Structure 1
Amino acid sequence: MKSNAKSKTLLVAAFDFGTTYSGYAYSFQDDPNKIQTNQNWYAGGGASRLVSLKTPTSVLLNPDGEFDKFGFEAEDKYAILAEEDKHHSWRLFRRFKMVLHNNKHLTKDVTVEDVCGERMKAFPLFVMSIKNLREHLLKAVTTQKVGIEETDISYVLTVPAIWDDSAKRFMRDAAVAAEIDPGRLKLALEPECASIWCETLGTDVKGAVAIAGSQYMVVDLGGGTADISVHERKSDGTLKEIHKASGGPWGGIFVDENYMKMLRQLYGEQALNDLRKTEMGDYFDITRDFEHKKRSFDTKNTNHVVVRLSLSLRELADKHFKQSLEERIADLDIPENSIKPISRDKLKIVGTVIQSWFKGPIDLLIQHINSLLAEAKMERVQTVILVGGFGESPYVQERMRNEIAGVRLIVPSDAGLAVLKGAVRFGHDPAIVSSRIMRFTYGTSVFKDFDEKKHSDEMKVWNNGKWVLDKCFKVYVRVNEEVRVDQQVTMESYPTSKLTLTPVYRATHGNPEYTTDPGCELLGTVKLVNTTDIPFYQQHMETTFMFGHTELLVKTKNTTTGKEAFMTFKCFI
């Protein structure tokens, strides 16, 4: 079956669905290392027209709530509608991916806000985004190679390694709802993809990651999160994870939020809201201008930054404030002359203020990396590879070089595309990753024999003619344990009723005794219907956990009847 699927794959396409920007890349089976990206995402028009290899993760809905545009096109069209005062029933959504990060109550009903603060369910937005990327890809591919069919394509969708199991499932379900065949879809962990791509780069980078036995850390620093994995190159060329994935919400959008906080202090919340309602094009110009300044900022070459705002913002603010702009700047808790108007639509900001906007997320990132490197099992890690859009920031690179001792920092060229290009390579050869480290302990809830010498009476329940202990944690694999990508753990049992419910749990620690212990959480349930034509005690069942893949799979099979069922996440029931 596997070989047949491979023979039908003429092309591998990867989607990098980011917090701030998204894009795709692909290569054909006959030349897998010739990876192509879309070259024509355009923003704005006229002299300010920008060309980008990725496009904003923005979705525009028409007045009927239907998909209209994605990316730069969505933002630019909404801006034009706003200028003509025709935008009121249209809805623009931006940067909504972060709703999946550490959402302990994630369901398909989770909601996000549009630019006007109105909420709707997030799931359709993910579906629309992936569907648009897929359609954009298909147009690019079919114009390049005549005769290729959609069924000839294998898809890879990148996800953060630090994401929860349910968030990964959310993305898979969204991709399937976007009409991607689940049999031709793989999820790939973003820092692993970056690691895979670095093996193809110049001698300098390749020497640090491609030599057998080399150990290195990959930091994927994007718009929303920092996603960190640690790998070892094995003698057969595959990757072995040597530390469980970790990270946090330390991406570039938090610098943007600090910038917007300053604008709110200087111009007022009401003026910014009015700007979004009446001059949305100006608002996008402000955010895009700062994005460029943020990415190029460093302390060696930048004593100050000039940010371009808009005359309309100044005029709107003047309606709501009695103080002058200079007086409002003086009220800020910053040194004198740190921010200075140089025209009605420009501010000159000294570098120390810009640095303060980076401080929070980068402090946390560096503290976390240093704590990881201090662990005993990390003593051979001498290289840190920095990728991702925010990883391209010279200031971020400068701080990491100065404050992370004892390691060499490598930033590959086109660091923002390393994940995307590595995902294509992963799609051609998923076996390139051979093992991973478990982030949790996984198991099921089972009954165990009651022992009156060990257990108190309130813990016992009557089941199937005897006293037993309920809600005992049956461990299949433990946190920090290394598992092969093809590793399966199977436990045998027999059914006791027509419907077998197998609750699947995870724990943050290695030795949970009961599923009610602190740190234990119900992930989902496997529901399997058994036959009543055969006595239950004569039927044989197997519950199998399939570990090491990007996603957790749990299957229960009645080997007597041949029926099987897979786990359904509790949040998606």
Structure 2
Amino acid sequence: MAPLARSPYTGASRRLVIAFDIGTTYSGVSYSILTPGEIPEIYPVTRFPHQEHVGGNCKIPTVIYYDKRGKARAIGIDDLEDFDPDEVENWTKVQWFKMHLRPKSSATSDAADQITPLPPNKTVIDIFVDFMKYLYASTCTYIQETFPNQLNFLVSMDRNNAIDFILTHPNGWGGWQQAQMRQVAVRAKLVPDTDAGRARIRFVTEGEASLHLCIQRGLMTPEMERGEGVLIVDAGGGTIDISAYSRNLTANKKNTFEEIAAAQCFFQGSIYVTNRARRFIENRLNGSKFQDNIEYIVNAFDKKSKLRFRDKPVYVPANSPEKDAKLGMGNGSLRLGNEDVAAFFKPSIDCIVNAVKKQRRTAKKTISTVFLVGGFAASDWLYNQIEISMKSLGVKFFRPDSNVNKAVADGGVSYFIDHSVTARVSKYACGVRCSLRYDPDDQEHRQRSSQVFRDEEGYRVPNSFDIILPKDTKVSETKEFRESYYRTSTDRDDFGYVESSLLCYKGSSPHPRWTDVDAGSYSTLCKVVDNGQLINTSRYVSNGGYYIVEYDVVLAFGLTELAAQFAWEENGVEKRCPAKIAYDIQ
């Protein structure tokens, strides 16, 4: 299929779109200048200050070096060979810091033990701010150097609030991580700390960005053209993101896709292969004369040997002339057996194969095509082992060229311009905890009789889970979900601040009903907070001697981030006000 043919930009004025792909191991930036009447083009940033050796590569290492005072001294550089050794002696290398922003759940607890700790007196947000500042400054410099005849372009765009930023993130990240990343963008001076400024920060999952990139590059099979499902396996440094889509054949817009299964995210990216290698190497060399060489060997395996593995022994540079046949040391390298190295990869390979099988079982359409993308996809061993399983499933399996694997940021810009995905599938059930009017004919109510309480409206049963959005529901971007609620109080001022906690249920029950059953599977997704308008809708119930406020919570789940409103009726007309989404600290 030919690459995507875009329509001219229809906006009233010029805008600049910049997408940041801050990956666990490598990062990149892409941008597009939107001019009314012209067809948008997407460009990667391929030059970075003090990165002359990159040579046109569109990604740089996600690495920062801090001095002992906590100042960032080198960014985007993996080694310091061009710096004065005396100067860098007390610098601290920070890498893989993105993983510290992951959701804190039991599913990610194993990952925590394998992530390098943050330096003293630095939070993950501090480090993200320093890195994002560097990426933004590099992007501005690159654009100015690339378009020298438009020296005032960036100043004009910034002054007119005409720069939109897209931040990509793993499938498993949610609203809390998005809120943290938005705060990073504010602190990095990308946008002002205002509602309008924060609204110029948008998010897209790495899986969805990869789909946009595949569409943009014309990577469409005949099966995809017919509306069958395609699975995007984004194998990155930290995570494996699994996303399933199919083309909407009834949409007016040709290249419109819908999610057909809930996206998944696993902490089995390439850094975990390196960590398994590290444990193996440490067990072999600890206590030997090569103990001080372990860090050098692990780094050499991570940067070179890992992606070159081809089912034969691997000889990893060891930076030592010493020999020891029993330890596998000789000729300046450490010999690792092919079976040992294959074992480092096996959990990641098994994870991908099992995830593909599960997605094919649960997807709402037949999945006949799988694309393997991301930096980890460069491993021939990973690709070949997965290909064997895909052939047995009768699935067409492709690995696009390296330019696709290094350009998630391109897909982020394409998401903003082309907006090809119009429906997404809910990963879990969402709702609120509430009380129900006691029904003596309901057996479950009778079983909870000891919990029954009385309020102004009568007897009620607590801890009911009122589901607003069921799990595995396909949600279009325009579809709203709403539920009606009320609050009562003898003091009207209690309605000056109204909030509803939105819960998510991640357990196995297909019909969760009570929040105190399988309680560990419930967690607070966010709080939907009123801006002070609902108090004006309250009314006094004279025969009960209390005030009541009645309202609807209106939620939009089909976007790449949650949106909420409060709604009420006033003189027969529905009124609405925006709700603030607040996230608890994780």
- Unpaired segments ≥5 residues, structure 1: 277-281, 316-323, 330-338
Offset at 1:102?
4.0
Distance of 1:25 and 1:194 partners within structure 2: 13
Would the aligned equivalents of 1:208 and 1:383 in 2 still touch at CA under 8 Å? no
Of 363, 381, 391, 2:350 maps to 363
Partner of 2:422 in structure 1? 434
Would the aligned equivalents of 1:126 and 1:174 in 2 still touch at CA under 8 Å? yes
Partner of 1:170 in structure 2? 180
Would the aligned equivalents of 2:310 and 2:381 in 1 still touch at CA under 8 Å? yes
Q: 5 Å matches for 1:321-470?
A: 325-327=324-326, 329=327, 339-341=328-330, 343=331, 345-375=332-362, 377-378=364-365, 380-404=366-390, 405=392, 406-414=394-402, 415-430=404-419, 432-454=420-442, 455=445, 456-470=448-462
Offset at 1:410?
1.0
Of 539, 548, 551, 1:535 maps to 539
Q: Does 1:570 align with 2:584?
A: yes
SS at match of 1:570: coil
Distance of 1:219 and 1:166 partners within structure 2: 24
Distance of 2:289 and 2:165 partners within structure 1: 44
Q: 5 Å matches for 1:505-516?
A: 505-508=503-506, 509-516=509-516
- Cα deviation, 1:216-271, whole Å, max 9, x if unaligned, reads 11100001111001100112321111111123112111121122223323443898
Q: 5 Å matches for 1:46-85?
A: 52-72=57-77, 75-77=78-80, 80=83, 83-84=85-86
- Cα deviation, 1:341-393, whole Å, max 9, x if unaligned, reads 2x2x3234443332222122212222232343345745x21110110000121
SS at match of 1:487: coil
Offset at 1:45?
9.4
Partner of 2:6 in structure 1? none
Distance of 2:33 and 2:52 partners within structure 1: 33
- Give the partner amino acid of 2:272: F
Would the aligned equivalents of 1:100 and 1:167 in 2 still touch at CA under 8 Å? yes
Offset at 1:85?
7.1
Q: Using a 3 Å threshold, how does the CA distance of structure 1 residues 230 and 115 change in structure 2: closer, same or farther?
A: closer
- Give the partner amino acid of 1:234: N
Partner of 1:13 in structure 2? 18
| Segment drifting more, 261-270 vs 419-428 | 261-270
Distance of 1:78 and 1:567 partners within structure 2: 46
Partner of 1:503 in structure 2? 501
Partner of 1:138 in structure 2? 140
Offset at 1:516?
2.8
Would the aligned equivalents of 2:526 and 2:582 in 1 still touch at CA under 8 Å? yes
Q: Return structure 1 stretches of 4+ with deviation > 6 angstroms.
A: 42-46, 110-117, 269-273
Distance of 1:210 and 1:222 partners within structure 2: 24
Partner of 1:238 in structure 2? 256
Distance of 1:567 and 1:290 partners within structure 2: 40
- Cα deviation, 1:394-451, whole Å, max 9, x if unaligned, reads 1111111112221011111124224222111111133x21101100111122222112
- Give the partner amino acid of 1:413: D
Would the aligned equivalents of 1:113 and 1:119 in 2 still touch at CA under 8 Å? no
Partner of 2:211 in structure 1? 195
Q: TM-score, normalised by structure 1?
A: 0.81
Distance of 2:515 and 2:290 partners within structure 1: 49
Partner of 1:307 in structure 2? 316
Would the aligned equivalents of 1:42 and 1:52 in 2 still touch at CA under 8 Å? no
Distance of 2:262 and 2:537 partners within structure 1: 46
Would the aligned equivalents of 1:546 and 1:552 in 2 still touch at CA under 8 Å? yes
Distance of 1:389 and 1:253 partners within structure 2: 11
Q: Using a 3 Å threshold, how does the CA distance of structure 1 residues 244 and 466 change in structure 2: closer, same or farther?
A: same
Distance of 2:14 and 2:484 partners within structure 1: 37
Number of aligned residue pairs: give it: 525
Q: Using a 3 Å threshold, how does the CA distance of structure 1 residues 209 and 154 change in structure 2: closer, same or farther?
A: farther
Q: Does 1:474 align with 2:477?
A: no
- Cα deviation, 1:436-473, whole Å, max 9, x if unaligned, reads 11001111222221123332322212222522122322
Distance of 1:555 and 1:125 partners within structure 2: 33
Offset at 1:286?
6.1
Would the aligned equivalents of 1:539 and 1:559 in 2 still touch at CA under 8 Å? no
Distance of 2:50 and 2:113 partners within structure 1: 28
Distance of 2:263 and 2:464 partners within structure 1: 28
Distance of 2:484 and 2:222 partners within structure 1: 45
Offset at 1:23?
1.0
- Unpaired segments ≥5 residues, structure 2: 1-8, 192-197, 489-493, 541-546
Of 38, 41, 46, 1:39 maps to 46
- Cα deviation, 1:61-116, whole Å, max 9, x if unaligned, reads 233323333211xx4349956x427533x43211021223341399xxx9998679
Q: Using a 3 Å threshold, how does the CA distance of structure 1 residues 551 and 564 change in structure 2: closer, same or farther?
A: closer
- Give the partner amino acid of 2:317: R
Q: Using a 3 Å threshold, how does the CA distance of structure 1 residues 458 and 538 change in structure 2: closer, same or farther?
A: closer
SS at match of 1:420: helix
- Quote the RMSD (CA, aligned, Å): 3.5
Partner of 2:3 in structure 1? none
Q: Using a 3 Å threshold, how does the CA distance of structure 1 residues 290 and 492 change in structure 2: closer, same or farther?
A: closer
| Segment drifting more, 185-194 vs 126-135 | 126-135
Would the aligned equivalents of 2:244 and 2:263 in 1 still touch at CA under 8 Å? yes
SS at match of 2:527: strand
Partner of 2:4 in structure 1? none
- Give the partner amino acid of 2:44: T
Distance of 1:175 and 1:420 partners within structure 2: 16
Would the aligned equivalents of 2:92 and 2:119 in 1 still touch at CA under 8 Å? no
Would the aligned equivalents of 1:443 and 1:476 in 2 still touch at CA under 8 Å? yes
SS at match of 1:516: coil
- Give the partner amino acid of 2:465: F
Q: Does 1:206 align with 2:220?
A: yes
Offset at 1:532?
6.8
Q: Using a 3 Å threshold, how does the CA distance of structure 1 residues 377 and 184 change in structure 2: closer, same or farther?
A: closer
Q: Using a 3 Å threshold, how does the CA distance of structure 1 residues 460 and 563 change in structure 2: closer, same or farther?
A: same
Would the aligned equivalents of 1:222 and 1:252 in 2 still touch at CA under 8 Å? yes
